[in-house]
């Protein structure tokens, strides 16, 4: 008689949590690596320039002998930092405007809805380029541009969520008991909107990072002296015809992997929050 214990496979919620932890660990390794890598490997070394990928230089070296692996990791760390600031600012704007549209009367709702439709009618990248160009580019220009262009979709989701919560029975009871509008928003609405805010924040990250790299690529983003991915890709374009394919391949591939990790974290957080709400 077999007395071995049965092995139960992980359910969907456990798989989602495992994916979040794995992606977060990989992102943490990239960030820590970018902060502690030796900057001496990205100084000019003409004796070792244009080297293909090897054990000593995993991603090869560029036309100045700089280690492309170190430049790529540092560039990813910089992009993640810019994406964090831009996504957090944009998500905060979406949170404020979404709640204001649903709680401050019809006039505020019409005005905010008109602003949402206005921003959604123009592609994010076009508006971002205009704002970054107006502010002179650089770190300040790209961060402000990212913050002001990526909030409309999340604001619309939060507005719809708040409108649904506002009609719930317990909110109506609190209103009849004389509770103020701010008290109801703080105790009833905000706790239910926080999961949407977190999911939206994580899903904004991929768009923010890609748009930052795109604007930096065309010269309107971060300074050329920074080891940003957009700058690395822009500089490598003129050397691809010489057969130096590794200058663009590895940085571009790493950028896509990082973007996919953030997308996976957001999707799995949404899966966890939706399963919890369905259970409740």
pLDDT digits (tens, 9 = 90+) for 85-106: 998 999 999 999 888 887 777 8
Quick one: 90 exposed, middle or buried, by C-beta within 10 A (0-12, 13-18, 19+)? buried
pLDDT digits (tens, 9 = 90+) for 239-280: 888 888 888 899 999 999 988 888 888 888 877 776 555 555
DSSP per-residue codes, 70-115: HHHHHHHHHHHHHHHHHHHHHHHHHHHHHHHHHHS-HHHHHHHHHH
Whether CATH 1.10.3260.10 fits 92-275: no
pLDDT digits (tens, 9 = 90+) for 33-54: 888 887 777 888 888 888 888 8
Give the predicted TM-score (pTM) of the model. 0.81
């Amino acid at each position: 008689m077999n007395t071995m214990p049965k092995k139960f496979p992980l359910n969907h919620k456990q798989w989602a949590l495992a994916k979040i932890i794995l992606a977060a660990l990989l992102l943490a390794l990239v960030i820590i690596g970018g902060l502690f890598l030796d900057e001496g490997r990205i100084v000019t070394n003409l004796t070792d320039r244009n080297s293909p990928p090897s054990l000593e230089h995993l991603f090869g070296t560029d036309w100045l002998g700089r280690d492309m692996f170190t430049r790529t990791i540092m560039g990813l760390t910089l992009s993640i930092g810019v994406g964090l600031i831009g996504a957090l600012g944009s998500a905060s704007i979406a949170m404020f405007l979404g709640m204001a549209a649903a709680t401050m009367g019809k006039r505020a709702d019409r005005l905010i809805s008109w602003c949402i439709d206005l921003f959604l009618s123009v592609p994010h990248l076009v508006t971002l380029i205009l704002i970054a160009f107006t502010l002179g580019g650089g770190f300040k220009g790209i961060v402000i541009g990212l913050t002001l262009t990526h909030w409309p979709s999340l604001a619309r989701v939060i507005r719809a969520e708040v409108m649904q919560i506002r009609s719930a029975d317990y909110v109506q009871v609190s209103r009849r008991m004389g509770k103020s509008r701010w008290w109801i928003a703080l105790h009833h609405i905000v706790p239910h909107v926080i999961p949407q805010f977190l999911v939206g924040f994580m899903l904004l990250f991929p768009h923010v990072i890609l748009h930052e790299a795109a604007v930096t690529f065309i010269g309107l983003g971060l300074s050329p002296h920074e080891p940003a991915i957009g700058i690395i890709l822009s500089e490598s374009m003129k050397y691809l015809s010489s057969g130096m394919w590794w200058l663009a391949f590895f940085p571009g591939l790493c950028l896509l992997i990082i973007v996919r990790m953030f997308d996976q974290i957001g999707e799995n957080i949404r899966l966890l929050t939706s399963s919890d709400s369905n259970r409740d």
